[in-house]
Amino acid sequence: MDISTALMILTAVVTYLIWWSFIARSMKGPRVWPIFGGLPDLILHSNSMHDWIADNLRKCGGTYQTCVLAIPFLARKQSLVTVTCDPKNLEHILKGRFDNYPKGPNWQSVFHDLLGDGIFNSDGETWLFQRKTAALEFTTRTLRQAMARWVSRAIKQRFCPILEAAQQQSKPVDLQDMLLRLTFDNICGLTFGKDPQTLSLEFPENGFAVSFDRATEATLQRFILPKILWKLKKFLRLGMEFSLRQSLEHIDAYLSDIINNRKLELVSQQSGGNGNPHDDLLSRFMKKKESYSDNFLQHVALNFILAGRDTSSTALSWFFWLVIQNPEVEEKILIEICTVLMETRGNDTRKWLEEPLVFEEVDRLTYLKAALSETLRLYPSVPQDSKHVVADDVLPSGAFVPGRIIHYLLHIRSWPDGIYLGG
């Protein structure tokens, strides 16, 4: 190697190290290594990611920045991540400057195969249109009625009988699994008017549910891998990408069948035929003047299933877990339920068990609602999320947002002392 080449390499290395030390010093968060940035720590804590981010936030006063890869040009465009849990910042991101923090192109390309341009995976006009349509179709009253019908039926005919059978046989039950099956059946009924009955005494495996889970898992794995790598795996049909493709084919066949049958039913009803009118989300979209493609209708359904299923079942699982830990809370909940039932159904306790509580009865359970809210505060179903940063910004806490990604935690474990007071 001649001396000029050696000098050039030395200059490049020194320039890089000056740039890196500037970047590393300006980041408040975990250590930033040369080239690999925050990636080593990220990989090291991949099994306890949530706790690790929460600890970092506590140490950094509620907001920090990190650089996933310390590579010039790439860092500024893709690798700088701002992480926050400060409630004032969250309000700013999700409400005040909502326009500056959309889901963004990375999120959309990761989810596109599963969710298309559905409400969960779109921004701007596409999102607004679906938001307005869903809000119009699902006014609170109609949503309540439809939800109450599906839930009551599943609780009376399947959930309670399974618990009774387990009690009689002195067998344990996997409550978390039961709640996931319950919410899956319920959200399928609400979304496309068909209860797959995954919650039943035999605990059957349901092809649609399995495919949906596999597709979600494979999609989430794309977040961990660089885009070029998962795109290559998709092209070569390797690993999880192969599983995603197969699952999507299954989901497509299942939903196409439902949509085709529904079309026939709607045509028959319009020409005066018999049959129960459907009030599910899919039918509501199909009855509109605009004609939507089957692909769009499938994505509407899948977005709702993703939105409503795990969120509700996770919240219920944590709720029962917390109630078991706190018998005094359980007692207060039971007393409240008995008091309301006494007023609405009288003293005959057999009548209390004939039917699940109707909405008006549930609405009067103030303490229960508070206990559920407390569960969501302590163990939020969506404890963290990311948004794309359109333009550089300054958060209410004073933190500058330079990069293209902002990540936020909703978990109180990440709050430093005094954050409530604006500290």
Contacts to ligand HEM by CB under 6 A = 119-120, 131, 190, 304, 307-308, 311-312, 315, 376, 381-382, 385
Shorter beta-carbon distance to ligand HEM: residue 304 or 415: 304
Compute how many other C-beta atoms are within 10 angstroms of the C-beta atom of residue 132. 10
What is the gyration radius of the CA atoms in the chain, in angstroms? 26
The two tokens of residue 134 are 């869903």
**CB 382 to ligand HEM: min, Å:** 4
Place of tokens 């910042």: 89
Q: How far apart are CA 281 and CA 299, in angstroms?
A: 12
For helices 294-325 and 366-378, the axis angle rounded to 10 degrees is 100
**CB 31 to ligand HEM: min, Å:** 30
Q: How far apart are CA 175 and CA 173, in angstroms?
A: 6
Shorter beta-carbon distance to ligand HEM: residue 234 or 388: 388
Is there a contact between 356 and 156 (Cβ–Cβ < 8 Å)? yes
396 by Cβ neighbours in 10 Å (0-12 / 13-18 / 19+) ranks as: middle
**DSSP letter at 37?**
B
**CB 250 to ligand HEM: min, Å:** 23
Shorter beta-carbon distance to ligand HEM: residue 65 or 191: 191
Shorter beta-carbon distance to ligand HEM: residue 20 or 318: 318
Is there a contact between 43 and 33 (Cβ–Cβ < 8 Å)? no
Q: How far apart are CA 86 and CA 395, in angstroms?
A: 10
**CB 380 to ligand HEM: min, Å:** 7
Is there a contact between 159 and 197 (Cβ–Cβ < 8 Å)? no
For helices 294-325 and 327-345, the axis angle rounded to 10 degrees is 110
Shorter beta-carbon distance to ligand HEM: residue 95 or 171: 95
Place of tokens 């999700």: 94
**CB 187 to ligand HEM: min, Å:** 6
Shorter beta-carbon distance to ligand HEM: residue 23 or 182: 182
**CB 372 to ligand HEM: min, Å:** 8
Shorter beta-carbon distance to ligand HEM: residue 137 or 385: 385
E strands, 85-231, are none
Please name which of 109, 110, 118 lies closest in space to residue 221, comparing C-alpha atoms.
110
Shorter beta-carbon distance to ligand HEM: residue 246 or 311: 311
**CB 135 to ligand HEM: min, Å:** 9
Shorter beta-carbon distance to ligand HEM: residue 213 or 246: 213
Place of tokens 């409503």: 308
Shorter beta-carbon distance to ligand HEM: residue 31 or 132: 132
Is there a contact between 204 and 198 (Cβ–Cβ < 8 Å)? yes
**CB 70 to ligand HEM: min, Å:** 29
Q: How far apart are CA 202 and CA 183, in angstroms?
A: 17
**DSSP letter at 420?**
G
**CB 145 to ligand HEM: min, Å:** 13
Q: How far apart are CA 277 and CA 12, in angstroms?
A: 71
Shorter beta-carbon distance to ligand HEM: residue 233 or 314: 314
CB neighbour list of residue 248: distance below 8 Å, 6 or more residues apart: 113, 114, 211, 215
266 by Cβ neighbours in 10 Å (0-12 / 13-18 / 19+) ranks as: middle
**CB 322 to ligand HEM: min, Å:** 14
**CB 331 to ligand HEM: min, Å:** 24
